[in-house]
Structure 1
């Protein structure tokens, strides 16, 4: 594990994969996580086709979280977020930050995510914080950046995005 390895749980989906290739291009070592290790490994191979020579591997979600140095990105559909967090909780360490990129939307019209889901804890990130072990911090971000924009490495990402968390240092 490199001192700056980032795990992306849900790295086989559009947002997760786009973030993986964008960070890999910037030289960040990436572990793509998925419920199935073979799907994560296939996504890592696709990422290497996009960014040859990058440090990208694939693993089952818990192994990916354990391999992360400091940042674990949660980039799964909201409906899967609680199950995913519970499945990796034992692999998370007190010094890690979970960057929650989930949005509590459900498909309603034509299969598009158009219906807001009420979250008992108040927000997706607050739900995640309630599920991670004590000492693991949660930051909420990347909700306004599309996976397609991230994956298009020729496109500039001159955009603003909100980053929410309890500690200033975690958001930087």
Structure 2
């Protein structure tokens, strides 16, 4: 199914969904792999612990964050695809980010985890039919479908890579 088939388009999450072209979700998984989105590995490594402003995350923190976010969005998609109508809470990204060991890890290690997770995410979504992809659940007081969550999974790393290019790469 394509991005244009997301109904309703969830507020807030649309900022990530709309970063992905109007393609089939599985084409998106092929085109927007973690290795493709974060392909400028040498620059990511060269940044080290630099941040563009006090209190901002390092590149390693960002990589951990996009991985954590994909786990959460996949979990939501699983629940909603299986017709679980339980309202799911939001999450506090700052708390999650403050309680990792990302600073002690390498960019390569973080990318390996992200890539392994993506393979699992693809397997999850491959086993959803159209009915499952279009069921509506509620996460963080927002109605959203597994299809929309799939495009959030694709667009969220694109958003963060855009931030890295705009605000972090000039530090090199």
Largest Rg, 1 or 2 = 2
Structure with the higher fraction of residues in helix conformation: 2
TM normalised by structure 2 equals 0.25
Structure with the higher fraction of residues in strand conformation: 1
TM normalised by structure 1 equals 0.25
Compare relative contact order (CA 8 Å, sep 6+) and give the higher one, 1 or 2. Answer: 2
